[in-house]
Each structure stands twice: as C-alpha cells, then as structure tokens.
Structure 1
C-alpha cells in the first residue's frame, strides 16, 4: 500500500494528468499510448481503452466492449482487472476526504454503458462510471462519482462497457530497462547499456559508462573511438556523480560480491580498456580498471583491476586524479 502520502501524490498526479509510473504503455496494435499509475503489484491505465477495431461499439470516439470480446480487448501483457484488483485500487486510492475527487479524476468523463444488439443502442447511466471485471460471475463495477462509492452490477451479453487495463508491475521496466533485451537506456543522452540481474536484488551494467562529463580527455589516448569501444575514464570525484539517477557507483562490498564467482565474469569485456595514469595509459588490451565509491585513505579511492589474460583481480588504492572506468549498479525495489 502506498499509505497516506502515496495516496496524496497519486491524487495530485491524477488531477494534473501526470503519469505516476516511470513508463507509459504503448499499444502496438494502433500505437496509442496510455499513461499508467502503480497500485500494489499492478500498473493501471489512467484512461479507458480505446482500441476501436476490437470494440463492440464506438460512440463519439469512445470505445465500448461487450463481454464476448473482453478476453482479447486489452493489449499484449495486460488484462482486464479482476474484482480483487478493483478492490485493491479502491482501498488504496478512493478513501478519506478526497475519495470523491480521486474517483472523479480516475474515471474522467463518465459514459455509462450501452445496451446493444436490439433496436437502437441505448445509453444507461451516463453520469456514472461502469467498467468491465474479469471473473466468472458476469459482473461489472459501478463507480458512483457523487457518493464516492462502488458496487457490482450483473452483466448480460448485450451490454457494452468501458474497459481499463492492468499489467503486472515490473521493477526493471520502471528503471527504464527492457526486460526482454536486458538493456538500459540512459535518459540523459539515450545511450544504451547491456545489464544483468544479480541475486534478484541488484542490476549491474555489463558495459562501461560512456556518459560525457568533460571532454575527449576521458577517452583512451584522447581518441573518441576508444570511448565508444571501452567507455570513458573518470576521476574519482567524477565517478561519484557520473551514474544516472537511480544508479550508483558500487562500493567495495558490492564489488566483492560481484567478483566472487570468477568463472562467470566476462573477462574479455572487463579486462580491456586500461586506465589513464596522468599522462600515461595502462595496458589497453589486457587490463580494465574500475572505481568503487569506497575511499580508505586521503586523496585516494578504492579501485579494482581485472586482468584478462591472467584471469586475476587486483584491488588497490589509487590517486583520485587517475582516470578509471565506471560500472553503475542499481538496487531492484
């Protein structure tokens, strides 16, 4: 549960039309984008489904769906919420002094439902929100905007209702990581990084950070080709602020955990790129040097050196002015 503060934030975001979740949902069938909010383990569309080709009725650009099409109405990886899903949403958001306002903001302009298939289509309860429910009891939910209350109503085959879709909350998607490709897109510059999930609690970049903080001096031999190939060098102070929001420079303990099973390390990736040692450079072909956030001596930072050919690791304390690589890590919430 979000608690009082969480409900207040959700209410304000609903009123202003801003998405609460990090990622909106794009329906590949018609490329329509839906904003979402997170409640419990689910992401909820904040607007009614508007996939017109799958609708039973379209009135004034609004789509309504009869029970026979409910199972195929929502986009891929989403579904019509169950009664239990609705109750979680209501308990989480439609309580307290703002429950009416929150409910009105969620429903938007109510449209009631339509009786279809016999003569002229008849609209029922245009001032009330009616939504489909996915269970075996042939029922829908009615949201009474005037009282801030809800109730169930029986559903027949000739009723067409509005639909809200839900999808399972995915913490990786919230972190701007593609679950299928395991690729993170840095929102600051659009650069993409392969990532891996470790122990279900941390996500590590599998590539060195390439975010530009200063100049070509961050590249091996001051050649931008090497920045693309190996990533950028950072001083210790630069490294502490280089990672994207929500990510951080790993500390010494996190690096210890990372390299425990050395048989699983990508040595050909980790053990390349060298380092910048003042006006000199380390072995680019066989070593890779990385900062941790830990500092145990003045003007030094803890560093980890991976040696590709020897398959060995060396932990040292380096001058804060040296140029080493950065691997960012994020905690999975």
Structure 2
C-alpha cells in the first residue's frame, strides 16, 4: 500500500511538472496569448515587443487595441508621396505625430493594413466584422458596445456608451487620399481586408466606421489610398 501511494505521488508530481512546463513554453511562444480570465488576455508581438490587450467575443479572438506595427521603410510623411502611392502600402501616425500614434495606433493604407498583422493573426474581413456586430446585436446598436467610455479619445460621449464588449474602439480619425488628416476624436475608421467589387476592386475596399455622435456602426466603401486604423483577429 505504501509503494502504491509513493507511485501515485510520483505520477502526480510528474504530471504537475509537465503541465507547468507546457505553460512556460506557451508563454514564450511567439504566437502565445497570456489569458487573465476566459475572455481577456495579452499578446506580445515578437517583431517589436509591443503588447496588446486581446479579447474573446463569441468565437473570435481580437485585438482590443489599434495596431501599432511600423512596417519598415513604409512610413509616408510627405503629402505628395502619400497621394501618389498607387501601391497603397504606406502608413503614418496621425499628423505624423508619434505621441498621437502611441494612443490611437497607426493609420494604414489598405495593402499595408493587410500586411501589418503579426503571424497567426490577420486583418478582419468584412464578414468577420459582421460576425462581431451580430454578437452584439446589430449595426444600429453595436457602436455603443464597441466604443471606449469617456472623452479621453473621443470628442464626446453619452450614457449609452458601455464598451461592454471590451473592444475599446477609439476615435482615431483617418488620413484621406490627398494626405490630409481628418476626424481625430470625432470618428474611428477601421479597414476590412475585403475589396469593394461593385465598380473596380482595384481602388476601393470596405471599412467600418463609428462616430461619437451615435450608436450605429457604418459599412462604407473607401479608396485604398486612405489611411485607416486596423484591428487583427486570430487565424
């Protein structure tokens, strides 16, 4: 009986060590997520060691912050270069201001946004945005559940804004096709990876937009030269 108990204790000890070893290994894996509970965690991008909050909504695992990855050699500060970039692969901080970028993330042209998510993640598709919105009700009420509470990153707010999803959408504004910066704290605009095919898929793609003034989230086609915010979803 004593030998049996010793063997059982040894097996339990080995099992515990294996479990701890797997957890440690997972925590240092490039694509790992460190979960704080069943819906909230953090992910560290191995390319630049930027740590992002992540959330689980329905079956989706999403960034809860705007992407901030600086694609090497693709920053465009010059207005003329921006509006002549037909590769749509540039990015910039709002007003080319790093301090604004630290809060609101980066504004990516469309091709850049598709390339900017880390390995194991991708830019949300139009359908994935629809799935997110449907999990929160519909496009007419989801905005208030997605937006950050308060006025730190929004020009105004109201009592109906709850951010109950944890998505924490910010009013990051955008950079238009002529290189001008517009709408900071007024609205948040997010690329999808889905092209708009009604007329010419080479020039436009879908975006999702939220404004401080109402609770709706809009689906609009936009020229790919525009600079918008980006959110990543787990593969």
TM-score when scaled to structure 1? 0.48
Counterpart of 1:227 in structure 2 is 101
Residue 305 of structure 1 corresponds to 209
C-alpha distance in structure 2 between counterparts of 1:267 and 1:253, whole Å: 23
In 2, distance between residues paired with 1:301 and 1:190? Answer: 30
Pairing of 1:4-153 with structure 2 (within 5 A): 67=7, 70=10, 73=13, 79-80=15-16
Within the candidate set 224, 232, 235, 1:328 is matched to 232
Contact 1:275 1:282 in 2 (8 A): yes
Question: Unpaired runs of 5+ in structure 1?
Answer: 1-65, 81-163
Task: Measure the CA separation in 1 of the matches of 2:21 and 2:222.
Answer: 45
- 2:95 is paired with a residue of what secondary structure? helix
User: Following the alignment from structure 1 to structure 2, what is the Cα–Cα distance between the partners of residues 225 and 194?
Assistant: 19
> Are residues 308 and 70 of structure 1, via their aligned partners in 2, closer, same or farther at CA, if it must alter by over 3 Å?
farther
For 2:69, which of 211, 219, 236 is the aligned residue?
211
Q: 2:187 aligns with which of 287, 298, 312?
A: 287
Cα deviation, 1:145-200, whole Å, max 9, x if unaligned, reads xxxxxxxxxxxxxxxxxxx6246978x8663110126001111111011011122x
Say whether residues 1:259 and 2:133 are aligned partners.
yes
Check conservation: 1:234, 1:323, Cα contact below 8 A: yes
- The answer for the alignment partner of 1:190 in structure 2 is 49
Q: How many Å separate the matches in 2 of 1:308 and 1:267?
A: 10
Consecutive unaligned residues of structure 2, counting only runs of 5 or more, are 1-5, 78-91, 137-141, 150-167
Q: Does 1:276 align with 2:175?
A: yes
Change (3 A) 1:168 1:311: farther
Identify which of structures 1 and 2 has the higher relative contact order when contacts are C-alpha pairs closer than 8 Å and 6+ apart: 2
Q: Which residue of 1 aligns with 2:155?
A: none
Report the CA distance between 1:329 and its aligned residue. 0.3
In 2, Cα distance between equivalents of 1:166 and 1:292: 38
DSSP 3-state at the match of 2:173: coil
1:205 Cα deviation from its structure 2 partner: 0.3
> Residue 167 and residue 295 in structure 1: after superposition, are their counterparts in 2 closer, same or farther (change >3 A)?
same
TM-score with structure 2 length normalisation? 0.67
